[in-house]
Amino acid sequence: MKQDFDRLVLPGGESTVQGKLLDELGMLEELRARIAKGMPVLGTCAGLILLAHDLAAHDDKGTPRLATMDVLVERNAYGRQLGSFRTKGQVAGIDGEVPLTFIRAPRIVEVHGDAKALAKVDGRIVAARQGNQLGVTFHPELDEDTRLHELLLQM
Give the residues lining the site for ligand GLN (CB under 6 A). Answer: 12-15, 45-46, 49, 75-76, 103-104, 106
Residues ≥6 apart with Cβ < 8 Å to 36: 68
Per-residue three-class SS string for 86-103: EEEEECCCCCCEEEEEEC
For the bound state, the minimum distance from the C-beta of residue 67 to ligand GLN, rounded and expressed in Å, comes to: 15
Residue 112 is a catalytic residue: no
Q: Name residue 94's amino acid.
A: I
- Shortest approach of ligand GLN to residue 13 CB, angstroms? 5
Q: Which of 141, 144, 149, 150 is catalytic?
A: 141
Catalytic residue, chosen from 29, 139, 144, 149, is 139
Q: Pseudo-torsion of CA 61, 70, 17, 100, nearest 10°? A: 130
Q: Is 139 a catalytic residue?
A: yes
Identify any residues that bridge with 90 across adjacent strands, giving them in sequence order. Answer: 97
Minimum CB separation of residue 43 from ligand GLN in Å reads: 10
In the set 45, 97, 144, 150, the catalytic residue is 45
What is the three-class DSSP state of 140?
helix
Using the minimum distance from each CB to ligand GLN, give the nearer residue, 40 or 135.
135
Nearest-angstrom CA–CA distance, 75 and 109: 10
Q: Which is nearer to ligand GLN, 13 or 89 (CB)?
A: 13
CB of 147 to ligand GLN, least distance (A): 20
Which residues are the active-site residues? 45, 139, 141
